[in-house]
């Protein structure tokens, strides 16, 4: 019996809420393998290191490292998850850079926002840290946080959804 | 006169060139956090650069809420706030490395002893931390505000530190056996940061300083454990690329690009020259 898309989506949502990183289920007529994006070995494209907010600078030509390596970027977008699924009237706040996502200013502080928090364009919703630059990320939209997608302390990539906001 | 006078705005300004002398300079006896104050001041200021100093902080912060220990009068607690417009083409993520370059240059020039940079932005003498930097970026309606907080152990005696930090931290006094005027040190950092801001606005990138930076880097060649997000990567710090990314080769030969990470431990290999304080 194949699972319905909505059931797979629910599985992904449940997985997102746990510390389990990978799930493998074998059914009579198929297999499902779900793996969280941040557990993949991730080699970001060089251009992603640039902070897009600093546009319009030209993206520097990729620099070929002198390291001879067989490693190629292994990040592949995760299977459609709650994060990527479109929901009417909502928008995603995405990471403008590769870095570590922090939901709160310090480990002992409450998070900047939670599900139910009202935000305006200038509300700081999180910090993304790269090279020890603590970069405050603003909502850029007005509405209400309906989902916190990224996990505190985990690496996020350029363009990865961090929050879902229901537009006001 | 003591080699370690108190911090005075007038003493700092006396060491600055005319253009910089006009910049807002706030000197306090005690504050919660110089970075927080610098942010509040720059958010309401039309100045491109300003500085906040304090003899001591009650809530001095390192990265992620860690405290920064600095007994009163022994350290330099300096936050430099720089503002940019939203359209300035600034690669903000390079600033922690650029600030480390400034701190390294100023400290090495002042003491005559060559310090080293631990990626991305700590300054070490003989494996011990002398300077930490906390860089924060935020926005107001019409500008981007970059706050660079320097914490430098200047006239600190090792006995001033908690025992658990004595093998991890040192000071300019401990390294050279003399005290330094923190006003002079402040002026040197402000001068270099001001120059750097101009150079960056003229298109300078970390890649332009890459060779010099790497030559002073403590990390390369070490066997390290580094935390990136929730992952721990163990391997050899191979190099720093021209964007400032740390390249680590793990024991399986796989290359890792460390964009956001913290080095937990580093060990020199036996075939490398012994690390230590090298005379210039």
| Domain-wise residue ranges, chain B | 9-205, 222-268
Domains B9-205 and B222-268 share a fold: no
Q: What's the pLDDT at B268?
A: 57
**Nearest one of A98, A127, A132 to B98, comparing CA atoms:** A132
User: Diameter of chain A by CA atoms?
Assistant: 53
- Residue B259 to residues A30, A46, B119, B189, B236: CA-CA distances in angstroms? 38, 10, 11, 26, 16
Query: In angstroms, rounded to a whole number, what is the distance separating the alpha carbons of residues B216 and B104?
Result: 8
Q: Which run of H or of E encompasses B152?
A: strand B143-153
Q: Is the peptide bond before B120 cis (omega within 30 degrees of 0)?
A: yes
The SS3 call for residue B106 is helix
Against a cut of 0.90, is the pTM above it? Answer: no
pLDDT in tens, chain A (168 residues): 556 555 655 555 555 555 555 666 666 666 666 665 543 333 333 323 222 233 333 333 333 333 323 233 333 444 444 445 567 899 999 999 999 999 998 888 899 999 999 999 999 999 999 999 999 999 999 999 999 999 999 999 999 999 999 998
> Which residue in the set B136, B255, B257 is minimally distant from A134, CB to CB?
B136
- How far does the CA of residue A29 sit from the closest CA of chain B (Å)? 35
- How far does the CA of residue A53 sit from the closest CA of chain B (Å)? 8
Lookup: tokens for B261: 């990470």
- Check A122 against B249: CB less than 8 A apart: no
For chain B, which residues score pLDDT lower than 50? 1, 269-280
Query: In angstroms, rounded to a whole number, what is the distance separating the alpha carbons of residues B172 and B157?
Result: 9
Q: What's the pLDDT at B274?
A: 30
C-alpha B162 chain-centroid distance:
22
Third-level CATH fold of B9-205:
BirA Bifunctional Protein; domain 2 (3.30.930)
Please state, as a whole number, how many other Cβ atoms lie within 10 Å of the Cβ of residue B81.
29
C-alpha B59 chain-centroid distance:
18
Residue partners of B119: CB distance under 8 A and separation at least 6? B97, B217, B218, B219, B237, B240, B246, B263
Query: In angstroms, rounded to a whole number, what is the distance separating the alpha carbons of residues B199 and A152?
Result: 36
- Check A133 against B259: CB less than 8 A apart: no
Q: What's the pLDDT at B50?
A: 97
Q: What's the pLDDT at B265?
A: 78
Lookup: tokens for B136: 């924060």
Residue B206: burial class (beta carbons within 10 Å; 0-12, 13-18, 19+) = buried
Q: What's the pLDDT at A106?
A: 83
What single DSSP character describes residue A17?
T
- How far does the CA of residue A2 sit from the closest CA of chain B (Å)? 34
Q: What's the pLDDT at A49?
A: 29
> For B145-169, what is each residue's pLDDT tens digit?
999 999 999 999 988 888 888 889 9
- Check B92 against A153: CB less than 8 A apart: no
Query: In angstroms, rounded to a whole number, what is the distance separating the alpha carbons of residues A42 and A76?
Result: 9
Q: What's the pLDDT at B3?
A: 72
Q: Which run of H or of E encompasses B88?
A: none
Q: What's the pLDDT at B165?
A: 85
The ipTM (two decimal places) reads 0.85
Residue partners of B114: CB distance under 8 A and separation at least 6? B108, B216, B277, B278, B279, B280
In A56-85, the residues whose Cβ lies within 8 Å of chain B are 56-57, 60, 63, 65-67, 69-71
Q: What's the pLDDT at A39?
A: 33
The SS3 call for residue B186 is helix
Lookup: tokens for B195: 């120059």
Lookup: tokens for B11: 């003493």
Query: In angstroms, rounded to a whole number, what is the distance separating the alpha carbons of residues B221 and B266?
Result: 10
Query: In angstroms, rounded to a whole number, what is the distance separating the alpha carbons of residues A154 and A159?
Result: 15
Q: What's the pLDDT at A14?
A: 56
We find that the CATH architecture of domain B222-268 is: Roll (2.30)
In B205-234, the residues whose Cβ lies within 8 Å of chain A are 205, 207, 228-231
Decide: B66 and B80 in contact? Cβ < 8 Å.
no
Residue of B nearest to A152 (CA): B229
Q: Which residues of A touch B249 (CB under 8 A)?
A: 67, 69
Query: In angstroms, rounded to a whole number, what is the distance separating the alpha carbons of residues B51 and A81?
Result: 46
DSSP letters, A42-54, are ----GGGGS-GGG
> Which residue in the set A67, A129, A154 is minimally distant from B249, CB to CB?
A67
Residue of B nearest to A100 (CA): B229
Q: What's the pLDDT at A23?
A: 60
Dump strand ranges (E) for B195-254. 223-228, 231-240, 246-250
């Amino acid at each position: 019996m194949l699972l319905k898309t909505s059931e797979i989506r629910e599985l992904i949502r449940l997985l997102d809420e746990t510390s389990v990183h990978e799930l493998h289920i074998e059914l009579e007529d198929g297999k499902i393998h779900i793996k969280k994006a941040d557990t993949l070995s991730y080699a970001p494209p060089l251009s992603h290191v640039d902070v897009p907010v600093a546009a319009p600078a030209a993206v520097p030509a990729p620099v070929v490292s002198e390291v001879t390596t067989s490693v190629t970027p292994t990040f592949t977008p995760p299977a459609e998850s709650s994060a990527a699924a479109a929901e009417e009237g909502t928008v995603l706040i995405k990471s403008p850079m590769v870095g570590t996502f922090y939901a709160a200013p310090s480990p002992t502080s409450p998070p900047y926002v939670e599900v139910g928090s009202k935000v305006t364009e200038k509300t700081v919703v999180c910090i993304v840290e790269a090279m020890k630059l603590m970069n405050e990320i603003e909502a850029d939209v007005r509405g209400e946080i309906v989902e916190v997608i990224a996990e505190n302390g985990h690496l996020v990539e350029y363009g990865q959804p961090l929050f879902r906001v229901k537009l006001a | 006169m003591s080699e370690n006078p108190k911090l005075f705005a007038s003493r700092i300004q006396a060491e600055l060139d005319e253009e910089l002398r006009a910049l807002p300079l706030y000197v306090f006896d005690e504050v919660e956090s110089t970075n927080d104050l610098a942010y509040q001041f720059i958010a309401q200021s039309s100045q491109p650069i300003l500085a906040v100093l304090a003899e001591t902080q009650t809530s001095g912060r390192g990265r992620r809420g860690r405290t920064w220990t600095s007994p009163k009068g022994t350290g330099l607690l300096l936050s430099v706030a720089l503002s940019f417009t939203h359209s300035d083409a600034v690669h903000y993520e390079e600033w922690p490395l650029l600030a480390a370059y400034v701190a390294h240059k100023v400290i090495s020039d002042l003491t005559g002893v060559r310090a080293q940079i631990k990626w991305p932005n700590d300054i070490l003498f003989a494996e011990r931390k002398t300077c930490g930097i906390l860089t924060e970026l935020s926005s107001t309606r019409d500008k981007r505000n970059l706050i660079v907080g320097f914490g430098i152990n200047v006239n600190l005696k090792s006995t001033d530190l908690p025992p658990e930090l004595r093998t991890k931290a040192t000071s300019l006094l401990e390294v050279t056996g003399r005290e330094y005027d923190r006003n002079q040190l402040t002026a040197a950092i402000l001068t270099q940061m001001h120059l750097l801001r101009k150079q960056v606005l003229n298109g300078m990138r970390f890649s332009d300083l890459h060779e010099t930076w790497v030559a002073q880097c403590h990390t390369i060649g070490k066997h390290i454990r580094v935390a990136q997000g929730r992952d721990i990567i163990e391997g050899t710090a191979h190099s720093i690329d021209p964007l400032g990314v740390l390249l680590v080769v793990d024991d399986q030969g796989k290359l890792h690009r460390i964009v956001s990470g913290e080095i937990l431990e580093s060990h020199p290999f036996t075939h490398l020259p012994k690390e230590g304080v090298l005379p210039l």
